[in-house]
Amino acid sequence: MDIIQLLPNHVANQIAAGEVIQRPASAVKEMLENALDAGGSEIKLYVKDAGKTLLQVVDNGCGMSETDVRMCFERHATSKIKSADDLFAIQTMGFRGEAMASIAAIAHVEANTKLTTNELGSHLVIEGSELREHTDCATANGTSIKVKNLFYNVPARRNFLKSDTVEMRHITEEFTRIALANPEIKMQLFHNNNEIYHLTKGNFRQRIVNIIGGKKNETLVPIEEETSVVKLNGFIGKPESAKRTRGEQYFFVNGRFIKNHYLHHAVGKAFEDLIPSNYFPSYFINLQIDPKLIDINIHPTKTEIKFEDEQAIYAIMRACVKRSLGQYNISPSLDFSQEISLNISQSMSTSTIKEPQIKVDSSYNPFEKADDFRINEQSISQEIQVKNHLEAENNFSDVMQIGNKFIAFTTQEGMVLLHQRRAHKRILFEYFSNVLSKNKGQSQQLLFPKEIHLNKNDITIIKQLKGDLLAVGFSFEIRENDSIALLGIPTECQEENLQFVIESLIEQHKNNEQLQTTQHNGLAISLAISLAISEQKKLSTQEMFSLKTELLKCSTPSICPLGKTTLINLQTSDLEKYF
């Protein structure tokens, strides 16, 4: 019995669409790239309900003929390539002929388009790959495409979409990537009838400042290099502008945004010893390279490309960035000028140099107790009293810190090993979870407001978290210069590391969608991770016992909020196995 059969076209189209259109942002990317290929000087993007209700792209490009507007929604119909050899000479953004066909398979699509030489344009309506209407219409030059009810016929895919906040963040990211790569084009973004971005024509530097924020202009360092392999230009951020949050790292190859961890490593090596290891430098770098030397047809989203000589580009990138850092007196340089104090005058050169005499105080006794140590002795005796009290309460007899990372408590049956940072995460997580549930966080007011500068995307995240941040004890104002002024902070937070805490919160919510979808729980986890003690912190005896006591009060003391073990109980019989 034959069991293999051809799939119906509408089913095959829906399956294929899943590879290209994964979420509303995927459709935005494809439609904006088509608008660029049409040669438009003005592009507008309208979004409703984070793209679930409506996505509309309007451009003033060349438009399409009556036949072309119908053909553009057919699978593998394209004006960009005619043979396989053309794949290695791609100069346009789109070329596969899959994007619009994929969108039409899973949405209601309306298209109005007109050639500049025609008096009338074409109006097209497609629902689930089926043509519903195709008529002449009066419309402006260029193309307007509306995508309504995305994934209406693929409910499983629609159910897997994240919240409007998360989906809109992805749409904004796609918009900004294309806007940065094309500063000569006026671009606007509207969401639910509110204008999010209004980007006028300008140069690359102006576009960066308009998207990231006005303060960014002061931190940009230009880079430029031209070789036979690649031409580089753009900007890098000064080391002091590096952040713990990602989001200001952009590579563009021939006008196309790409992700490349290898080249990111090259930039990171150039910043080595200038920024901490857990910070990310900003960069906005354009690469112009012969299309024959790259392959952009290795991924449906075209965000990953393959270089013919990746190692050479790595070396050029690293050297170019490092040179710019040095030219603008940012990286440390060696001063080979001779120290004046080392010069020996001619009058002294003929005289005999005497050996210096060392004076020794024979009456000095390093083991003699001084008054300075009395305070330490007193504090140690207090810690011993606390330890004895806790020993009696919890049946622990001794404590020791190992490698400034683990705490060992001896018991009658053996010993308990505790991971100090993970234990503190669990304690803080349960505290902040309780605070958020009751909406009663304690706050300490700052004597002077602490201003923290962020980019526009990070400001958006702060606005989304504002209610919960207020609940846990933060008090702040969002200012027009892309910054927040902290007026009060939770009692568990220290004023000197506020920048670190805020950037850590943003970074975790930006790159962890699990935290984004469960916001209350996610904020508690983020705060616990940001405020927990480091793995290399030296703790006093009292601090170690306090950490243990608070951990044992937790509802789930054995694991941290991320599911990792906080403590292990070693019996004497377990230790005997090693001997």
Q: So what CATH class is 9-201?
A: alpha beta
> With the C-alpha atoms ordered 428, 432, 435, 440, is the resulting torsion angle positive or negative?
positive
In the prediction, which pLDDT does 293 show?
84
> With the C-alpha atoms ordered 60, 64, 70, 73, is the resulting torsion angle positive or negative?
negative
Q: Residue 364: which pLDDT band, with cuts at 50, 70 and 90?
A: low
Q: Which amino acid is at 481?
A: N
Mean pLDDT of the 507-533 span: 72
110-124, 169-183, 477-491: least confidently modelled range: 477-491
Does 502 score more than 90 pLDDT? no
Does 466 score more than 50 pLDDT? yes
The rounded distance, in Å, linking the Cα atoms of 542 and 383 is 5
> With the C-alpha atoms ordered 258, 260, 263, 267, is the resulting torsion angle positive or negative?
positive
Q: Are 520 and 434 in contact (CB under 8 A)?
A: no
The rounded distance, in Å, linking the Cα atoms of 236 and 245 is 16
In the prediction, which pLDDT does 335 show?
42
Q: Report the CATH superfamily, name and number, of domain 382-579.
A: MutL, C-terminal domain, regulatory subdomain (3.30.1370.100)
In the prediction, which pLDDT does 9 show?
73
Q: Residue 351: which pLDDT band, with cuts at 50, 70 and 90?
A: low
The 3 state secondary structure assigned to 237-270 is: ECHHHCECCCCCEEEEECCEEECCHHHHHHHHHH
The rounded distance, in Å, linking the Cα atoms of 276 and 237 is 14
Q: CA-based diameter of the chain, in Å?
A: 111
Q: Residue 97: which pLDDT band, with cuts at 50, 70 and 90?
A: low
In the prediction, which pLDDT does 348 show?
46
Mean pLDDT of the 374-390 span: 38
In the prediction, which pLDDT does 389 show?
38
Q: What percent of the chain shows pLDDT beyond 70?
A: 81
pTM here is 0.70
39-48, 280-289, 344-353, 510-519: least confidently modelled range: 344-353
The rounded distance, in Å, linking the Cα atoms of 140 and 113 is 8
In the prediction, which pLDDT does 282 show?
92
Mean pLDDT of the 80-100 span: 65
> With the C-alpha atoms ordered 307, 308, 314, 316, is the resulting torsion angle positive or negative?
negative
Please give the CATH architecture assigned to the domain spanning 205-327.
Answer: 2-Layer Sandwich (3.30)
The rounded distance, in Å, linking the Cα atoms of 241 and 235 is 13
Map out the domains of the chain as residue ranges.
9-201, 205-327, 382-579
**Selection from 433, 386, 382, 378 nearest residue 548 by Cα:** 386
Q: What is the pLDDT of residues 246-279, one digit of tens each?
A: 888 999 999 889 988 999 999 999 998 888 878 8
**Selection from 273, 47, 286 nearest residue 146 by Cα:** 47
Compute φ and ψ for 175, nearest 5 degrees. Answer: -65, -45
Q: Residue 338: which pLDDT band, with cuts at 50, 70 and 90?
A: very low
Q: Are 482 and 211 in contact (CB under 8 A)?
A: no
The rounded distance, in Å, linking the Cα atoms of 28 and 177 is 11
Q: Which residue has the higher pLDDT, 346 or 128?
A: 128
Q: What is the pLDDT of residues 300-317, one digit of tens each?
A: 667 778 888 889 999 999
Q: What is the pLDDT of residues 114-166, one digit of tens each?
A: 998 899 999 999 998 889 999 999 999 999 999 999 998 888 888 888 888 88
In the prediction, which pLDDT does 264 show?
92
Does 515 score more than 90 pLDDT? no
In the prediction, which pLDDT does 341 show?
43
